[in-house]
Amino acid sequence: MIAVLSPGQGAQSPGMLAPWLELDGIAGSLSDELDGYADAIGLDLRTLGTTADADTIKDTAVAQPLIVATSLLALSALQARTGDVTGWASATAGHSVGEYAAVAAAGVLPATDALRLVAVRGAAMAQAAAAEATGMSAVVGGDPDEVLAALATHDLVAANVNGGGQIVAAGALSGLAALADDPPAKARVIPLAVAGAFHTKYMAPAVDAVATAAAALTPADPRLTLLSNADGAAVASGADALAALVRQISSPVRWDLCQNTLLESGVQAVIELAPGGVLTGLARRTMRGVETLALKSPADLDAAADLIARHRG
């Protein structure tokens, strides 16, 4: 059994789309696919993914659709070798904005609709982030209960509970600074380069915009088991999947519970779509015995195809 994972914001890097658009045999079809995404959202994804610098693609309104487009392009390249994802994967999940790529992979939305929705999300979250001085910091290590107590002391929340001894604190910059000055025992506090306190009450203004955009879409029921960031449980229907995408904007990501569900379901391997690496790193620490592969570039396609051949069915 294989699960397909999609990374969240922060996974982007300059030039990450370039090798996919140069892939022998299918470069033309991937280029056309990318142009379709770009036309759907009115954003020059080709330039952003090939020549734009790190500061440009760090912008929330840019980073979110660019990451989802990259994940879906990598999935298309993989399917060109291995057949449709439903023939070899049993489940899919995505971290934060990556859940939008997972929804497309599961067939709940066409890729272009998923991109349109995530473009609304990115713009709305960027606007919400600009309203107050907030941010996020990774807290690595320490006793989980002590970490949560320290967050509460500084009026912060656990916006991401990622497993593997990693919790992401979010809230006012003053609270994050105080946490860094007095970290929990045996824990490190690492500021993250994000625009605001995602997955908290500070993102509430973005919820209505995404809910309105989602209401105009017609979802299908998932073709694969699709896990929700909220509680790691399988989403029952297409309508529930869209509702979950809206809710997660201002509520915590429980990636630890997604990983627990995958383990309990008997998943033997996970493939993280480009621009991958973070989720497979977490999986290696918390999903012992599960084979992991990050499809970072076309150079990883052969290894991914081999993994699928060994674990499909």
Active site residues: 96, 199
Strand 91-94 to 166-172 pairing: unpaired
The Cα 163–Cα 310 span in angstroms is 27
Three-state DSSP state, 253: strand
For the beta carbon of residue 222, count every other beta carbon within 10 angstroms: 23
Which of these, 134, 185, 136, 186, lies nearest to 161 by C-alpha position?
Answer: 136
The Cα 103–Cα 116 span in angstroms is 13
Three-state DSSP state, 287: coil
